[in-house]
């Protein structure tokens, strides 16, 4: 493959976040939106079996399924989970293009040698999102953004589809024209009037005919996409990069020891991601959400760049101390390292008495063991105790 593109699409994102927060909703038809007015923003798959879908009025949704549970939206919660998901993406590749709050394109061409074959990368990414954020996602893999996006749609729900370059036409041509990028109801109706029902029909229609019917640009694009030709690149946003992780407690807690242990666990997770992404950082941020859903954060700047768990944790715990909390009940805690730079481009001033080998080398070895035998193979003793 000249290029390998992943399209990651979260499944029923808002609804999935709400089910992760409220497990009693799992298995029941539910949707995010107004109970008696407004529109449906997201519906789980149980609700979709009754015909409930995004954009539908809440009134109609109640008629279709009176027993469906309506959950008011919490956009702050969705944004937090989205940030966590994109932080996972950035451990795979720096080439991440956000298509929306719940979907992205990843160009993993340069990550294959480091992380393995595309399916292995996709499945590990899906497992990590499910484990850390408790929401499912579907992954499509192909040689272009267009094919990868269609593949992720075929993978739903909670699956993965790989389309190799030699399989592109066999994958595309049986699809209905409605599956084409940019073909809405109006364009589909015009294609049907021309007798074009499938992508194969579109592909075997002369380019000039399509350009006469739809204009030079749209007609030419339809013809190219029908033959799997899509030269668009993944364009990452030019924003300050960060890597983070967050965890919601099973019950709200004011136990400082429990919070400290969780910050240590999250610091290890963040540092591991940084090493995997070959990034270093020195700005450590701790974010805390309280039982009343209010959120606050504090930031510490370390003396030097790092990707070592102990150093990230030291900064995170000092940042937490600056909150000066007095037995406040905490719902969720998060750790994030910002201002990242490529490890091979970073300058680190080591003290004269620094040992030749230190904790970073220990953690690199531990990373290898974990990659081979699983996350429980090597752990800090304090994280194994209940």
Return the CATH number at 311: 3.30.1490.100
Domain match, 210 and 298 both: no
Domain match, 353 and 275 both: yes
Structure token pair of residue 323:
């909150």
Instruction: Show the beta-strand stretches assigned E in the chain.
Output: 5-10, 30-33, 40-43, 69-71, 96-100, 103-107, 137-142, 160-162, 242-253, 279-290, 295-306, 330-338, 341-342
Range of the domain at 199: 173-226
Domain match, 300 and 323 both: yes
What does the pLDDT average to over 87-104?
91
d(CA 317, CA 325): 13
- 62 in any annotated domain: no
- 270 in any annotated domain: yes
Domain match, 194 and 147 both: no
Domain match, 218 and 324 both: no
Split into its structural domains, the chain has a count of 3
Per-residue pLDDT tens digits for 216-267: 988 999 999 999 999 899 988 755 578 888 888 888 999 999 999 999 999 9
pTM: 0.66
What does the pLDDT average to over 144-157?
95
- Which CATH number goes with the domain that contains 153? 3.30.70.270
Residues 6 or more apart from 8 whose CB is under 8 A from it? 89, 103, 104, 105, 106, 125, 137, 138, 139, 152
Per-residue pLDDT tens digits for 69-81: 999 998 878 988 9
Domain match, 378 and 254 both: yes
Which residues are annotated as part of the binding site for Mg(2+)? 9, 102
Domain match, 281 and 362 both: yes
- The residue among 191, 226, 261 that closes a domain is 226
- Which CATH number goes with the domain that contains 206? 1.10.150.20
Half-sphere exposure of 37 (CA within 13 A, CB side): 0
What does the pLDDT average to over 264-283?
89
Taken in order 243, 41, 331, 138, is the CA torsion positive or negative?
A: negative
pLDDT of amino acid 42: 95
- 287 in any annotated domain: yes
Domain match, 132 and 262 both: no
pLDDT of amino acid 358: 66
Name the catalytic one among 103, 132, 311, 363.
Answer: 103
Domain match, 313 and 362 both: yes
**Do 121 and 135 contact (CB within 8 A), yes or no?**
no
d(CA 295, CA 336): 15
- The residue among 167, 191, 214 that closes a domain is 167
Domain match, 190 and 267 both: no
Taken in order 115, 118, 122, 123, is the CA torsion positive or negative?
A: negative
- 18 in any annotated domain: no
Domain match, 144 and 209 both: no
Query: Is 132 one of the annotated active-site residues of the chain?
Result: no
Domain match, 254 and 341 both: yes
- 275 in any annotated domain: yes
Share of the chain above pLDDT 70, in %: 92
Farthest CA pair distance, the chain: 79
d(CA 333, CA 297): 10
pLDDT of amino acid 279: 87
- 159 in any annotated domain: yes
Which residues are annotated as part of the binding site? 9, 102
């Amino acid at each position: 493959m000249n290029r390998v593109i992943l399209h990651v699409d979260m499944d029923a994102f808002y609804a999935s976040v709400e089910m992760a927060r409220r497990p009693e909703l799992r298995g029941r038809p539910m949707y995010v939106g107004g109970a008696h007015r407004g529109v449906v923003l997201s519906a789980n798959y149980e609700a979709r079996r009754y015909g409930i879908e995004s954009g539908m009025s809440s009134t109609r949704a109640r008629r279709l399924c009176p027993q469906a549970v309506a959950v008011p939206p919490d956009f702050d919660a969705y944004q937090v989970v989205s940030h966590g998901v994109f932080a996972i993406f950035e451990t795979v590749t720096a080439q991440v293009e956000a298509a929306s709050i719940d979907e992205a394109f990843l160009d993993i061409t340069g990550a294959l040698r480091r992380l393995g074959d595309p399916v292995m990368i996709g499945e590990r990414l899906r497992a990590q999102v499910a484990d850390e954020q408790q929401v499912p996602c579907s992954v499509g893999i192909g040689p272009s953004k267009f094919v990868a996006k269609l593949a992720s749609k075929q993978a739903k729900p909670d699956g993965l589809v790989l389309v190799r370059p030699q399989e592109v036409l066999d994958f595309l041509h049986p699809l209905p024209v409605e599956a084409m990028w940019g073909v809405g109801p109006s364009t589909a109706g015009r294609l049907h009037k021309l007798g074009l029902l499938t992508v194969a029909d579109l592909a075997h229609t002369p380019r000039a005919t399509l350009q006469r019917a739809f204009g030079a640009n749209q007609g030419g694009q339809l013809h190219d996409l029908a033959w799997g030709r899509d030269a668009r690149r993944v364009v990452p946003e030019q924003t300050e990069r960060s890597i983070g992780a967050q965890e919601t407690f099973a019950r709200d807690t004011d136990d400082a020891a429990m919070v400290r242990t969780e910050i240590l666990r999250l610091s290890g997770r963040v540092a591991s991601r940084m090493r995997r992404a070959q990034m270093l950082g020195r700005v450590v941020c701790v974010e805390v959400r309280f039982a009343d859903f209010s959120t606050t954060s504090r930031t510490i700047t370390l003396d030097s760049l790092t990707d070592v768990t102990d150093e990230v944790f030291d900064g995170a715990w000092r940042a937490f101390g600056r909150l000066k909390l007095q037995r406040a009940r905490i719902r969720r805690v998060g750790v994030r390292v910002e201002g990242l730079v490529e490890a091979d481009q970073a300058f680190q001033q080591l003290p004269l008495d620094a040992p030749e080998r230190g904790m970073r080398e220990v953690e690199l070895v531990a990373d290898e063991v974990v990659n081979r035998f699983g996350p429980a193979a090597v752990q800090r003793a304090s994280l194994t105790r209940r």
